Structure 1
Amino acid sequence: MNADDVSVRIFKALGHPVRLQIVKFLLVEPQCVCVLNQLFDYSQANLSQHLKILREAGILDSQKIGVEMHYRVKLKGIEKLIAAMDLTVAEYFNTIDF
């Protein structure tokens, strides 16, 4: 796997609105899956699938604490990537004619 493959894998993982929201939420602080389950109005199975994709892309890390699974953002560069995307989106909206 080369650098381009990893880049595509990360962008694909962040390319779903739910996964992007999950990562933005976890950038603030690590959380228990139970908190994520309450915050996002999705079934446990659906949320678990999104978390699995983010873990497999190397974006998230998980740790079992007691009976609870906790998630955190593993790649610190993700915060800068999302900030750059937010700036790009703002630029996009400033350049289109309504």
Structure 2
Amino acid sequence: MTQEELSVRVFKALGHPIRYKIVKFLLDEPKCVCKLNENVDFSQSNLSQHLKILKNAGILTSEKIGLNIFYKISSEDIANLLRISDEFVMNLVKKMNENIDNI
């Protein structure tokens, strides 16, 4: 797989609203699946599918501790990517609002 294909895989994984929400929820600390399931509005099997996609993209890692599986961000680079993306979007919204005000 090429670097470009891997980059696309990461952005595709982050491009789904639920997966984006999962990753944002994990930014502060690792969490068990039970906590992730409380934070989303769908079944455990659906959550598992989203987590699998995020793991396959290299965004998350998991560790079994006792009976629970904990997920965490694989790298601080992912957190930085989300921060940069959020900044970009905030600036974009600001520019859009400025353009509306100038009409």
TM-score interval for Structure 1 and Structure 2 normalised by the shorter chain: over 0.9
SS in 2 for 1:28: coil
Q: Distance in 1 between matches of 2:93 and 2:38?
A: 32
Q: Which residue of 1 is the match for residue 92 of structure 2? A: 92
Match of 1:69 in 2: 69
> Counterpart in 1 of 2:35?
35
Q: How much has 1:5 moved relative to structure 2?
A: 1.1
How big is the shift at 1:75?
2.3
User: Matches of 1:37 and 1:80 in 2, distance apart?
Assistant: 25
Structure-2 residue corresponding to 1:26? 26
2-structure distance, mates of 1:39, 1:94? 29
Distance in 1 of aligned mates of 2:11 and 2:32: 24
Tell me the TM-score normalised to structure 1 length: 0.95
SS of the residue 1:27 aligns to: coil
* Structure 1 runs of 4+ with >2 Å offset: none
State the secondary structure of the residue aligned to 2:26: helix
The question of 1:48 aligning with 2:68 is answered no
Distance 2:73 2:36 in 1: 14
Q: Distance in 2 between matches of 1:82 and 1:67?
A: 30
Quick one: which amino acid aligns to residue 84 of structure 1? Answer: I
String of CA shifts for 1:53-91, please: whole Å, max 9, x gaps: 000001000111111111011122011110110111011
1:11 aligns with 2:11: yes
* Bigger Cα Rg: 2
